[in-house]
Amino acid sequence: MNQIYQLTRKIAFLILAVSISLITVSCSGDEGEVGPKGDKGDTGATGPAGAKGDTGATGENGEKGDTGEKGDDGEDGAGVFKGGYIQGTLTGTRRDGVPLAVDFKLEYTSSQYDVPSEDEGGNWSVYITRSATASDNYSTTAFIDGTIGNKGTQGETMTATRFGIDMRQPVAGDMLVLNTYIEGSYEGTSLKITNYSRDKATSLVTFNFEIKDLDGSHNSTNHPLTITGSFSSGEGRAYFDVVGRRAN
């Protein structure tokens, strides 16, 4: 009797399992079609700034720009002005043996020059200098140093004691560089002033000069050299008189 019960129970479980399988198969239908694409969503919020990138490599140098226009000439240096002149002709021989003849005219000076001074012994002297430009750099400059005798009288005279010229001047496409320094006490030299004149009303001074280095030992050419010319203190140039006032 118990065996019949157990057999009946197994058959019932078997029937139940088959029923569940059939139900499962009948519920599995075909997949439906894909639905339509949905609308585009709203743009999201801006994200935070990214980290700063590395510095790029240095670029190549650009081309050189054009040369600018030449500026206006500057004003004369302080205390330097055109006033009178030392002019003349320098003749001699260059170092290479070529004959030399150069004309020059120097017109720039400064207010502290051309003014006679008196020493404790009552002797008067004057230092005269002129340059080719307002700047002494790289231009021709000359000076004449002398003593004044019988100052203020009808017989006033001037005697040259020293002369020097530092010449930098274009000559025939070349730059002539020449210098000489001569004192009256030097052997083989000659310093002469002639036709000295001082106008008592204006104190305008003029004279001629002749400077010679006879053996060439006192100039840079090492050849004999002669410099002749004239000096004028210029219109309106007035020396100090004995009592320190300018002449009218």
159 in Cβ contact with 149 (< 8 Å): yes
Q: Give me the mean pLDDT over the 174-198 stretch.
A: 90
Q: What is the mean pLDDT of residues 179-201?
A: 93
Q: What is the pLDDT of residues 197-209, one digit of tens each?
A: 998 888 899 999 9
Instruction: Quote the mean pLDDT of the chain.
Output: 79
Which region among 3-12, 133-142, 225-234 has the lowest average model confidence (pLDDT)? 3-12
Question: What percent of the chain clears pLDDT 90, i.e. is strictly above it?
Answer: 42
Rounded distance, CA 224 to CA 89, Å? 14
For the stretch 35-85, pLDDT in tens is 666 666 677 677 677 777 777 777 677 676 666 665 554 444 457 888 899
Looking only at the bridges linking them, the beta strands covering 157-171 and 174-183 are antiparallel
Q: How confident is the model at residue 1 (pLDDT cuts 50, 70, 90)?
A: low
Q: What is the largest CA-CA distance in the chain?
A: 185
Burial (0-12, 13-18, 19+ Cβ within 10 Å), 50? exposed
Tokens for 109, please give them. 């000076």
Q: CB atoms < 10 A from the CB of 129, how many?
A: 19
- Whether 91 shows a pLDDT value over 90: the answer reads yes
Instruction: Tell which residue, 112, 108, 113, has the closest CA to residue 77.
Output: 108
What's the average model confidence in pLDDT over 175-184? Answer: 87
The confidence score (pLDDT) of residue 220 equals 93
In this prediction, residue 178 carries a pLDDT of 87
pLDDT grade, residue 245 (50/70/90)?
very low
Q: Where are the domains of the chain?
A: 80-232
- Of 135, 140, 83, 74, which is closest to residue 109 (Cα–Cα)? 83
Determine the average pLDDT of the residues in 179-189: 92
Q: Are 117 and 247 in contact (CB under 8 A)?
A: no
Question: H or E stretch including 68?
Answer: none
- The 3-state DSSP class for residue 194 equals strand
- Rounded distance, CA 108 to CA 194, Å? 23
pTM across the whole model: 0.63
- 94-151 pLDDT, tens per residue? 988 999 999 999 999 987 788 889 998 889 999 999 999 987 566 899 999 999 999 9
